[in-house]
Structure 1
Amino acid sequence: MYVHIRYNFIAQGKLFPEIVGIAGLLIATFAIAFLVFFIFSRRQQNRLVVRQKHMQKEFDNQLMQAKVEVQEQTFGELGRELHDNVGQLLSSAKLLLGITQRKLSDPPETLMTAQDTLGQALQSLRSLSKSLNTEWLSQFNLIENLHVEAERINAAGQLQVHVKSDAEQLSMQADQQLMLFRIVQEAMNNSIKHAQAKNIWMTISSGRNNLKISIADDGQGFDMNARPGGVGMMNMRHRVKLLNGRVEWRSEIGRGTTIEITLPL
């Protein structure tokens, strides 16, 4: 009896460490499995978040591209309307003034001034209609068209636009140049409408990897902390984003505004 009990005690003492070892191994296995599952779940979750962000970014880009296409279509229709309708009316009026002037032996100076003014208006209208014609702009040289746009604005006599470029042509696709042209147009229009500027200085510098455009005016400026962004600034941001670039504003009250646009080439 004593021998049997001692034998069971010894046998159980030998088995206890084995049971503890097996239990520890099972716990370690479960811990490792849980850790692997946790890491795998986090990776899957991160991949899902990245995919959702990518899809949202793609959706935003497509939405902005659709807005730009609608705007370009509107610009094209407006350009054709200006050329075919308003332009023809102004040409007819100029022709009638010329006929009247030739019939008069001593035409008044006001009539001659009116004819000259109408001729300048007709020239500005033709330049404007060209700048809105997407078919014509699809093959344009951006630098050349910026000079043409500056001449059109300068002809109005309200302010002077000064264009300086270190290149005559850019290594960009036609649709990208067109969008960049619209961005610069928006910047100049903001200076004309809101800044009450007398001069606009535009500088284009093309490097090996990026393109930089600076548009500065001597207008009244604005407080960047107090003034929210308007529709014009929002359109510029959207278009620059479509070109994978960035745009920055620097302005102070009484010291004008400078817009810096940087695009990858």
Structure 2
Amino acid sequence: MTTSNKELLAEIQRQQALLQARLNEEQHNLNMLAKRLWAQQESEKAKLSRELHDGVGQLLTGLTRRLQTLSSTQPELYDLAQLAEMALSDVRQLSRLMSPTILDDLGLVPAIKWLCRSLFEHESCKYECEFDCPLPIPQDISILIFRIVQEALVNIIKHADASQAKIMLSCHHQTIRLDIIDNGVGFEHKGIEKGIGLNSMKDRAQAFNADLIIYSKIDKGSRVTLTVQI
């Protein structure tokens, strides 16, 4: 190879390296922007959650107590008191799901356990949890995992017609792995991803440079696997 060819090859390689570095920087900037957007979304959810709890929740609490008191002498108000109590329960549940304070107070594992109890409480689908995660998990990663679990479980309840679901979380060598498995009807990826929140899950994972694999087959159930570095 002549000297001029070597110089040309070296220049091409240098330009490629510069281009790759620029692409890496742009990807990093996009991921940081996505993280900030997700953080802002979580902040807005927390604000709305407080408004539901402190505003609507308190109004329904007062209404429920008033109707319960009146129903002791006016039995025809008993059904209204029950409806008000059910509405209050739903508002409280929605407030917790939008911004689960248990995640801040007790950590990720108790929050996932609470989420499972809340979502499957009135469902025929049985669930099982396995946790092997002794490592401390950063708050932003905890929120990522919690939201992935939440979205996946809601999909199972709404769409899978499953009788069993399993949630597994493990941490080894600074790597966290989450698996959510069900034995439901499954689905084909084409034509369904946009409608059931899978894109949202993928976008969240991408913002954290996490690997998200969603596998499903008709009548063979589904499996969601998230792998993220701490």
TM-score (normalizing by structure 2): 0.83
- Cα distance, 1:117 vs. partner? 6.3
- Give the partner amino acid of 2:151: E
Whole-angstrom CA distance in 2 between matches of 1:262 and 1:161: 25
Contact 1:138–1:175 (CA<8 Å) still a contact in 2?
no
Contact 1:245–1:262 (CA<8 Å) still a contact in 2?
yes
- Give the partner amino acid of 2:107: N
Unaligned runs of 5+ in 2: none
Contact 1:246–1:262 (CA<8 Å) still a contact in 2?
yes
Matching residue of 1:208: 173
Deviation by residue 1:92-141 (Cα, 9 ceiling, x = unmatched): 2321231023225xx47x937x6566545534532432343377744541
More helix by share: 1
- Cα distance, 1:263 vs. partner? 2.0
Matched, 1:245 2:201: no
Whole-angstrom CA distance in 1 between matches of 2:25 and 2:192: 29
Matched, 1:236 2:204: no
Q: 1:90 aligns with which of 33, 45, 60?
A: 60
Q: Secondary structure at the match of 2:72?
A: helix
Aligned residues: 229
Deviation by residue 1:22-56 (Cα, 9 ceiling, x = unmatched): xxxxxx9xx32x13421331222122221221122
Unaligned runs of 5+ in 1: 1-27
- Give the partner amino acid of 2:78: L
Closer, same or farther: CA 81–127 of 1 in aligned 2, 3 Å: same
Contact 2:185–2:218 (CA<8 Å) still a contact in 1?
yes
Root-mean-square deviation (CA, aligned residues, Å) is 2.9
- Give the partner amino acid of 1:48: L
Q: 1:175 aligns with which of 127, 140, 144?
A: 140
Deviation by residue 1:199-231 (Cα, 9 ceiling, x = unmatched): 43212223334222211223321113x335326
Task: State the structure with bigger RCO (CA 8 A, min sep 6), 1 or 2.
Answer: 2
Q: Which has the larger radius of gyration?
A: 1
Matching residue of 1:258: 223
Whole-angstrom CA distance in 1 between matches of 2:176 and 2:129: 14
Contact 1:216–1:258 (CA<8 Å) still a contact in 2?
yes
TM-score (normalizing by structure 1): 0.73
Q: What fraction of aligned residue pairs are identical, expressed as a percent? A: 24
Matched, 1:143 2:113: no
